[in-house]
Amino acid sequence: MIDINGNYVGIGIYMTQDKDGYIVIVTPIEGSAAEEKGLKSGDIILKVDGEECTGMDLTLVSNKIKGKEGTTVKLEILRENEIITEVIQRRMVVINYVRSKVIEKDIGYIEILSFDGKSSNDFKEHLEELQSKKIKSLIIDIRDNGGGVVSQVIEIAEILVPKGSMIMTTFDKEGNEENIFSKKEQMVEMEIVLLINGHSASASEILAGALKDNKVATLVGTTTFGKGIMQEVVKLEKGGAMKITIQEFKTPNGDAIHKTGIEPDYVVEQEKDEKVDLQLQKAIELLKK
């Protein structure tokens, strides 16, 4: 539900665990309690409420930092050679899964990190802001986007493809098929490049297939993950939930992508430690022709 709603109660940090078992802050989330307290990228969390956490499973550390809204958590932080203690109040953390900027003077760039419960509205707002800045072309980045809410990706696709265009076909185990068409007026009539990679999955592949098959965007990057199935979350009486696979989907051209993925128009490999974003540079190159 955190993934779907795009928020949770905590202090607002992204963390990782290094090879020595240290819990390292990657970055504080903008506007969070952690940012207000001055937590920084590279800070090492040594203790949570007095409990040593070095070597502890990252998920366990995360759960100890989260808690009820209004309560506090005490962190012992190692910053360079100094140990700092911070008491931080937990509060609702709103995650912004859509970000945008203008690059190369007139190229709009929108990154969608996840298709959460409000991503379509966020995407529309970012797009309108970029259009007010007179962009002439657009890059949409769904690399490492593992999916999300199907209704949200359909609404984003409706913004980008012409009205009446097919977005996808769904079918269940009984063979019942349903064609999903765009019912809204297209908001974008400019050249678009969509950035994808091997971690673009599920809802991301719905968008990639819709834009590629409708010839709305050029795809740059590497073949997507290949998760062409959809689930629904069924709440259980005792507070748990079950995620059930209910349908498979095909692209508008009828291509099933489960376990195969969607191939880009331009294959550009990108190593994680590469200092230059080669895939983004290729997108810019194509749009400047």
Residue 255 is among the residues annotated as catalytic for this protein: no
Per-residue tokens: 147: 């999916």
Q: How many residues does the chain have?
A: 289
Least confident of 80-89, 95-104, 186-195, 275-284: 95-104
On the question of a common fold for 7-94 and 98-287, the answer reads no
pLDDT at 6: 64
Q: What single letter denotes the amino acid at residue 146? A: G
Q: Which of 202, 204, 212, 282 is catalytic?
A: 202
Band (pLDDT 50/70/90 cuts) for residue 91 is very high
C-alpha 236/C-alpha 247 separation (Å) is 21
Residue 202 is among the residues annotated as catalytic for this protein: yes
Extents of the domains making up the chain: 7-94, 98-287
Q: Which residue has the higher pLDDT, 77 or 6?
A: 77
What b/e sequence results for 138-161 when a residue is b if at least 16 CB atoms lie within 10 Å of its CB, and e otherwise?
A: bbbbbbbbbbbbbebbbbbbbbbb
CA 38, 42, 47, 48 dihedral sign is positive
Q: Which of 212, 227, 250, 282 is catalytic?
A: 227
Q: Which of 43, 116, 141, 213 is catalytic?
A: 213
Residue 41 is among the residues annotated as catalytic for this protein: no
Whether domain 7-94 has CATH 2.30.42.10: yes
Per-residue tokens: 60: 């366990």
What's the mean pLDDT when you consider all of the chain? 93
pTM, 2 dp:
0.79
Concatenated DSSP letters of 123-155: HHHHHHHHHHTT-SEEEEE-TT---B-HHHHHH
Element (H, E) at 35: helix 33-36
- Tell me the mean pLDDT in the region 23-33: 89
- Hey, which CATH number is domain 98-287, 1.25.40.340, 3.90.226.10, 3.30.420.40, 3.40.980.10? 3.90.226.10
Asked whether the predicted pLDDT for residue 97 surpasses 90, the reply is: no
